[in-house]
Amino acid sequence: MFSGFVSFAQQDAQYTQYMYNTINVNPAYAGSRGVMSIFGLHRTQWVGLDGAPVTNAASLNTPIGNSRLGLGLSFVNDRIGPTDENTISADVSYTINTSETFKLSFGLKGTANLFNLDVNKLNPQDQGDPQFQNLRNNFTPNIGAGVYLHSDKLYFGLSVPHIFEMTRYDDNSVAINKERKNFYLIGGYVFDLSPDVKFKPAFLTKAIEGAPLQVDVSGNFLINEKFVLGAAYRWDAAFSGMAGFQVSDQIFIGYGYDRETTSLRRFNSGSHEVFLRFELFKNYSKIVSPRFF
């Protein structure tokens, strides 16, 4: 009765290979690769832990002809315990040239979110508690924004995918679930170590009110323009290993594995993440393939 406890939890879906999935966190990324890019990802987090997060994400983004505009469309399904959340987003970006090598993109994101809490997976003390009635299919719209500075070698991005804080199931100012703003800062650089080896360090920083600052740092080697091997560290949370293979100019597949460094590691066997990227382009001069980001 006289004890207090503090807990923190992720809200937005978590990705180990965020460097390939930028469109989900920054709308200004839309069209930046210069080709139509189709991306699909499956993540199973904390395998062996009942109710652990399972995330499926799919996206498409493309430049619009020879204009400065880019468009994107993405879908994310995130299941955690008794909750099932589906988010559809549409992105638009506008790009200006800041120098001969750098471009600056501005983006806007519109989202539609459908949040469902399955009360049948809960075990309330009072089965007739009215607080647990009518908790299905809660719809919330939102908007987001971002900026993205990039060249063939370097990129930086700052974004807020959801600007408005949404309260779900609000009864007399008591919120059962509240979505807060997530701020993302990303960056990366490609070093040419030799004609056959490139190295790209990258980072993602996420800040959210009421939770510790999350920092992901990674390093990937691109070998012979085909194989990608790398490692990552999520500050005070997990180590990761990553691998990828450029099957062809259009197809790239990747895999990531996380191992927790917290006490949670005793209750799961790690997290797995696989993705596939497929790109359509007619003019090969538009893209340096394979691209690292």
Which domain CATH number covers 99?
A: 2.40.160.40
The answer as to whether 7 is a domain residue is no
The token duo for 89 is: 């987003």
Task: Considering only residues 237 and 13, tell me which one the structure prediction assigns the higher pLDDT.
Answer: 237
Q: Would you say residue 130 lies in a domain?
A: no
| Whole-number Å distance between alpha carbons of 144 and 130 | 34
CB count within 10 Å of CB 151 equals 14
Nearest-angstrom CA–CA distance, 18 and 89: 17
Task: Compute and round to an integer the Cα radius of gyration of the chain.
Answer: 20
Q: How many CA atoms lie within 13 A of 101 on its CB side?
A: 5
- Distance of alpha carbon 213 from alpha carbon 215, whole angstroms: 7
Tell me, yes or no, whether 6 lies in a domain: no
Confidence of residue 288 (pLDDT cuts 50, 70, 90): very low
Structure tokens at 260: 């927790």
Q: For residue 89, what pLDDT is reported?
A: 97
pLDDT at 61 over 90: yes
- Residue for token digits 């699909």? 40
Alpha-carbon distance values, 156 to 29, 65, 104, 120, 151 (Å) = 10, 24, 10, 44, 10
Does some domain include residue 42? yes
Report if residue 290 sits inside a domain: no
Check pLDDT > 60 for residue 287: no
pLDDT tens-place string over residues 116-140: 887 777 776 666 666 666 566 788 8
Angle at 278 between CA 273 and CA 284, to 5 degrees: 140
pLDDT for residue 10 is more than 60: no
Burial class (CB in 10 A: 0-12, 13-18, 19+), 82: middle
7: pLDDT confidence band, cut at 50, 70 and 90?
A: very low
Domains contained in the chain, number: 1
Instruction: Provide the pLDDT for residue 135.
Output: 61
Give a yes or no: residue 35 inside a domain: yes
pLDDT at 211: 77
Q: What is the pLDDT of residue 82?
A: 87
Percent of the chain with pLDDT over 90: 63
DSSP bridge pairs for 253: 245, 276
Give the burial string for 162-195 (b: 16+ CB within 10 Å, else e).
beeebebbeeeeeeebebebbebebbbebeeeee
Domain that holds residue 156: 18-121+135-282
| 207 to 28, 89, 204, 247: CA distances (angstroms) | 19, 21, 10, 36
Assess if residue 2 is contained within a domain: no
Nearest to 241 by CA among 205, 276, 271, 204: 271
Q: Where are the beta strands (DSSP E) in 64-122?
A: 69-80, 83-97, 103-117
Higher per-residue confidence, 181 vs 63: 63
pLDDT, tens digit, for every residue of 68-119? 999 999 999 999 988 899 999 999 999 999 999 999 999 999 999 998 887 7
pTM of the model: 0.86
- Residue count of the chain: 293
In a domain, 127, yes or no: no
- What SS3 class is residue 121? helix
Strands 182-189, 54-63: pairing is unpaired
C-alpha 184/C-alpha 14 separation (Å) is 12
Name the DSSP class of 181: P
What is the distance between the alpha carbons of residues 56 and 94, in angstroms, rounded to a whole number? 28
